[in-house]
Amino acid sequence: IRGNAKPQIDMRTIEVTDTSAGMFTMNHDDLDKIVDHVFPHPKSYHRAWVMEHQGKQASMWEPVPPTATFRAVGYVFSPNLSAPPLDAVRCIPAHWLTPSEHQPRFLWSDSIVAKSAPTSLWFISSFNLIAPSRGSKEMVPQPHTFHDMKPELFAYKFRLDPRLLEEGLNL
């Protein structure tokens, strides 16, 4: 960020609570199954950016959701050229998201150190996530849109029926 400017960050927390569990019933197996179903890990990553300079390496990876009903809303940095572990990030249900109306804001460009076409990094969405773009002057449109959480507040409350875990949850 240039100077002392601080980005406005819209922080949101998703909390998953098992209200049927008490202090002495700490079996989280069912809760873990729900979290894994509602917020699955990606099935893989696509490498979106690589930098090698003076013996140091860094890369940025775009998570690939397991199905079209989920989205990955950001990228994952790696301090080397290896993809991060799949459990480093989770995906979110697509119907909880809306296309972002925020204009990307420039963060940084590797145009000085780039051996090939420069890449720039941009703040995207209301969460100020970082995304790469080819070129150093403007955000090049991506093959997908960036997303924000839908503005309305929502809560999913349901009583866990063990059959849901066997048959698969449909939230």
pTM of the model: 0.74
Token pair, residue 58, equals: 């860094």
Check pLDDT > 60 for residue 65. Answer: yes
**Torsion sign over Cα 154, 69, 41, 50:** negative
Tell me the pLDDT band of 85, cut-offs 50, 70 and 90.
very high
Two structure tokens written together for 44: 């893989």
Q: Average pLDDT in the 85-97 region?
A: 93
In SS3 terms, the chain reads as: CCCCCCCCCCCCCCCCCCCCCCCCCCCCHHHHHHHHHHCCCCCEEEEEEEEEECCEEEEEEEEECCCCCEECCCCEEECCCCCCCHHHCCCEEHHHEEECCCCCEEEEECCCCCCCCCEEEEEECCCCEEEEEECCCCCCCCCCCCEEECCCCCCCCCCCCHHHHHHCCCC
pLDDT digits (tens, 9 = 90+) for 24-44: 665 667 778 888 988 999 999
In this predicted model, what pLDDT tens digit does every residue of 106-161 receive, in sequence order?
A: 888 876 655 556 778 888 887 778 888 877 666 665 645 788 888 765 555 545 55
pLDDT band for position 49 (cuts 50, 70, 90)? confident
What tens digit of pLDDT does each residue of 9-23 get? 555 667 776 666 665
Which tokens belong to 77? Answer: 């940095």
Instruction: List Cα–Cα distances, 80 to 7, 52, 56, 108, in angstroms.
Output: 27, 9, 8, 19
For residues 126 and 102, is the Cβ–Cβ distance under 8 A? yes
Inform me whether the pLDDT recorded for 5 exceeds 80.
no
